[in-house]
Structure 1
Amino acid sequence: MTKIAHSSKKWDGERGHIDKTMLKKYINDLSKPIYYISGPATMVATMRSRLNGAGVNDDNIRTEEFSGY
């Protein structure tokens, strides 16, 4: 893990939540890739819902839920 407060380099990548707008910047056809989501159950459900809303079929989504946070 990187300690952001102590990083010597400024982050110039994406910021914010992953949504359809962000994905469309990098993927021409959102229905083509296989998406992998791993994390707490609520986050996994939210991301699945966002992908479905962007036109991604459940057949193209792989998930793994874990707790402990």
Structure 2
Amino acid sequence: MTEAKKLNWSMVGVIIALIMQAAALIFWGGGLNQRVSALEKVVAPLSDGTLARLDERTKAMKEQLDRIEREGR
């Protein structure tokens, strides 16, 4: 065999590894997209301000509880 016709097996290994990593990245990205879509469906009902109202109610309850505790001393 001449020098020009030799197959560089280390280069073939690197190329195969890069192809496998690219496939794994695509697979991971697809799974990530699916998880984000599922989370968006769960959080969508809170986009109307429900979470902010709950936060304000919780803050008001804490303030009332603090006031009641101060009066009880």
TM range (shorter): under 0.3
User: What is the TM-score with the length of structure 2 in the denominator?
Assistant: 0.23
User: What is the TM-score with the length of structure 1 in the denominator?
Assistant: 0.24
Greater relative contact order (CA < 8 Å, ≥ 6 in sequence): 1
Q: Which has the larger radius of gyration?
A: 2
Which structure carries more strand by proportion?
1
